[in-house]
A and B are shown apart, each in its own frame.
Chain A
Amino acid sequence: GENVEQHPSTLSVQEGDSAVIKCTYSDSASNYFPWYKQELGKGPQLIIDIRSNVGEKKDQRIAVTLNKTAKHFSLHITETQPEDSAVYFCAAKSREGDYKLSFGAGTTVTVRA
């Protein structure tokens, strides 16, 4: 099955700086890569996703990049704000018709005021 590794496990940034989280996946057939944000006491929520036919996608202050050759994808948060403090998970879906997601271990992001 798919194996997703995520780094770093914790990340502390100064407000206004950028944050980058990186993930690698093992199954070259994976074609969908979402990122979820989990706030304290809540369930994860989708913040951005990318499909394998696209190299980069941006939504306001967040962006995701995908390198299929190297089998890695990254989340970039610019101009970080205190409300960006949360746990972030990357995930990968292996093949068409399979709606199971394999998740990374998560990154705890802390934005210092």
Chain B
Amino acid sequence: DAGITQSPRHKVTETGTPVTLRCHQTENHRYMYWYRQDPGHGLRLIHYSYGVKDTDKGEVSDGYSVSRSKTEDFLLTLESATSSQTSVYFCATNGGESAEAFFGQGTRLTVV
């Protein structure tokens, strides 16, 4: 898992509340990604980062924001959680030398 730790691993939250998911890596990888996994959709890219303070949107970025103040940490924030954001969220990293992505164990988020 290339030293990737996601926290929390499970979370239940109420609609309208803010939620922050954390991804921490120990590999000094330049690239970091947040994906969501839903049945029938595979893995869809939410946001990614190509360096400290350098981020960009993925294909399903609405309702999400990210921040990367240090190489090792990439935060995903749901400003006001909705039921449609109930999903399993995966963080991934890539060192840049190849295109191989390494994934964390995932965070199961339930919005009620």
Q: Residues on A close to B: CB < 8 A?
A: 1, 6, 9, 32, 34, 36, 41-46, 49, 89, 93, 99-106
Contacts and interface: CB of A to CB of B under 8 A. Distances in A.
The range of chain B's interface size is 20 to 34
B65 to A, nearest CB: 18
B40 A105 contact: yes
Contacts, number: 54
Contacts of A106: 42
A42 B43 contact: no
Contacts of A103: 35, 42-44
Interface of B: 1, 4, 31, 33, 35, 40-45, 48, 50, 58-59, 90, 92, 94, 96, 99-106
A43 B88 CA distance: 10
B101 A101 contact: yes
